[in-house]
């Protein structure tokens, strides 16, 4: 199982999954050497501290500020964290998706009692920022 597959299965809670749309970064070839090419961009899966730094350097966006803003608006992110549906227009594409997994936690309750939860925060090409979260199947 690859690091990315393990992350998407909720098995790498210390890692961050970053999707960078190919039209949103200036040097996708350099990033590809450190990640995985997907249909519309590059995915990087790395340790949380390193990932936050890389995300900010590649996008110019503080990932914690993105998360705080994105939590105010619900959207829909695909389970592979590489595509999303913007609440302001289905035809919009995500520029960036920053995602992390949280381990199952029965004490917290809610969806967290049902299994690992993926949290995804999106910066859309239209400027809208939104989030989604789901229990890993």
Contact 122, 94 (CB under 8 A): yes
Q: Mean pLDDT by 10-residue block, N- to C-terminus, for the chain (137 residues)?
A: 93 95 81 86 93 90 96 96 92 94 95 96 96 95
Which residues, in sequence order, are bridge partners of residue 124? 94
pLDDT at position 137 is 84
pLDDT at position 84 is 96
Closest CA to 116 of 6, 10, 8: 10
DSSP, residue by residue, 85-129: EBTTBTT--EEEEEEEEE---TTT-GGGGSS-EEEEEEEETTS-E
Q: What is the domain partition of the chain in residue ranges?
A: 3-135
Contact 73, 87 (CB under 8 A): yes
């Amino acid at each position: 199982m690859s690091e990315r597959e393990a992350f998407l299965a909720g098995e790498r809670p210390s890692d961050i999954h970053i999707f960078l749309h190919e039209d949103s970064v200036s040097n996708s070839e350099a990033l590809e050497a450190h990640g995985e090419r997907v249909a519309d961009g590059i995915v990087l899966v790395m340790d949380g501290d390193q990932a936050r730094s890389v995300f900010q350097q590649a996008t110019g966006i503080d990932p914690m500020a993105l998360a705080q803003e994105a939590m105010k608006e619900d959207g829909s992110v695909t389970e592979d964290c590489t595509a999303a549906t913007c609440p302001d227009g289905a035809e919009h594409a995500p520029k960036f998706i920053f995602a992390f997994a949280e381990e199952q936690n029965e004490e917290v309750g809610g969806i967290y009692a049902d299994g690992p939860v993926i949290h995804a925060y999106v910066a859309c090409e239209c400027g809208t920022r939104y989030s989604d979260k789901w229990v890993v199947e």
